[in-house]
Amino acid sequence: QVSTDDPERAFCTLANREELNPEEGSIHHCLYQFTRNETLTETNKLLCDVCTQRHCGPKNNIKSEKKHVYTNAKKQMLISLAPPILTLHLKRFQHAGFNLRKVNRHIKFPEVIDLAPFCTAKCKNVAEGNTKVLYSLYGVVEHSGTMRSGHYTAYVKMRAMNNHLSDLVLRGQSQALETEPVKGQWFHISDTHVQPVSVSKVLSSQAYLLFYERLL
């Protein structure tokens, strides 16, 4: 989809991402890297219809692919619609020659995360003037083992119903004002075994999937 927005605003975010200074090995650093501004040059140049028409005339006159004009460009992936439920899937494998190897490094993640530095300045369901898009952690999936075998367990927070979240899901809008983590008890679930755990235990887990619910 071709965007005709003001190019000066095309790469703007709700909050200044340059002030984030994310710690390496954290979920903030992962998001920062995933949404970084990229320059497309050489073999990655962008096919530009406007440049092609300016150089070769109307599109109907273009008969050869060789006449297509490619240009340097900038690319950035940002969130344009903040979801009611945020699911973050960590890539837990890397190539080692012709084989895949599991990545067991601990990735730090918070109880409350602000997505504003990763949202476009015109994020559709964020009230004008808001510079925060907050989410509260309520679930974690952890995998132990190797790429060939292993075991999945989960951490889940038992909490009261979030009426603001229901409004967001059903009507696409919410008047939520909470900025603190949703209160509740965490449980560790492994097959049929369930036991209560502390939040520190949850935050020290080797997260594979993270589940957050919208606060603000």
Residue 65 domain flag = no
Evaluate whether residue 92 is within a structural domain: yes
Contact 119, 156 (CB under 8 A): no
36 and 13 Cβ atoms separated by less than 8 Å = no
Residue 8: the pLDDT is 65
CA 132, CA 213: separation in Å to the nearest integer? 14
In a domain, 171, yes or no: yes
The more confidently predicted of residues 68 and 29 is 29
166 domain-assigned: yes
Q: For residue 18, what pLDDT band results from cuts at 50, 70 and 90?
A: confident
Residue 182 is assigned to a structural domain of this protein? yes
How many domains in the chain? Answer: 1
**Predicted pLDDT of residue 1:** 46
Asked if residue 202 is part of any domain, the answer here is yes
Q: CA 190 → CA 57, 102, 138, 187, 209, distances in Å? A: 65, 21, 17, 10, 15
The rounded mean pLDDT for the chain is: 84
Sequence-distant (≥ 6) Cβ neighbours of residue 140 within 8 angstroms: 154, 155, 202, 205, 207, 209, 210, 211
Could you tell me the two tokens for 25?
């090995």
pLDDT digits (tens, 9 = 90+) for 137-170: 999 999 988 878 889 999 999 988 776 676 676 6
Report if residue 33 sits inside a domain.
no
CATH code for position 157 = 3.90.70.10
In terms of residue numbers, what domain contains 205?
Answer: 79-214
DSSP string covering 95-126, please?
A: EETTEEEE-----B--SEEE-GGGBBTT-TTS
Identify which of 20-29, 48-57, 97-106 has the greatest average pLDDT.
Answer: 20-29
In a domain, 126, yes or no: yes
